[in-house]
Amino acid sequence: MNWLIVAVTAAFVLLEGILATWEGTLTKSGWCQVKFPFINHAGIWGDLLLFSLVNGLVWDHLRWRNCGIIVPVCLVATLTMHYTWFSTQDLTSWLWPLGTRSNCWFSLSETGWLHVIFMTAQLSILVLYVINPVPATVAWSVAGLLTIFWPLGIILPCWYITGRWIDTQAIIASLVLLGGTWGFTIFKVY
């Protein structure tokens, strides 16, 4: 476990929280009074508590070749995920305090842009993890942490926004990611 990387990852997420406080989007009672504040996004708690551990587990096993390809691809993937979220919601949030009736990229908050950077880095680390060998104990541990993260980061935000626990798209996305996580882990270990 690389505790420095755990701390750096956690510090980056906390920096997002500090910026959200400054922007007034940390809580519903912030000066922006957004409907979906930073602190209520369960995925942020997963970033802080789970991905910091994932990064600490995998960091020392990563080989950094192909980053010139991986990072831009992960940036495009991150932007695509956030645009998809933007285009399917009709509310104000810590990402888009002006709401989703405006231009996606011009109205993305500074905290939102910082989160895009975080997600690009996080996806890049996950891709590097996928293509690099790691000990079986690391692979099983990462699979366990991601098993907690996927529903936390996908289903709970959908519930918070829609008020429904059963959101077909969120359930499908979570099941695909869970199945992929465990299928890949079994393949990676054996």
pLDDT at 30: 72
Per-residue pLDDT tens listing for the chain (190 residues): 999 999 999 999 999 999 999 988 888 777 777 878 888 888 899 999 999 999 999 999 999 888 899 999 999 999 998 888 777 777 778 888 877 667 888 888 899 999 999 999 999 999 999 999 999 999 999 999 999 998 888 777 777 777 776 677 777 888 898 999 999 899 889 8
Nearest to 126 by CA among 108, 111, 112, 145: 145
Separation in Å, CA 37 to CA 51, 62, 76, 97: 20, 34, 25, 9
**pTM recorded for the entire structure:** 0.88
pLDDT at 28: 79
pLDDT at 129: 95
Token look-up 């192909």 returns 66
pLDDT at 101: 67
pLDDT at 100: 63
Contact 85, 93 (CB under 8 A): no
Kindly give, in sequence order, each residue whose CB lies less than 8 Å from that of residue 152, ignoring residues fewer than 6 positions away. 42, 43, 45, 46, 50
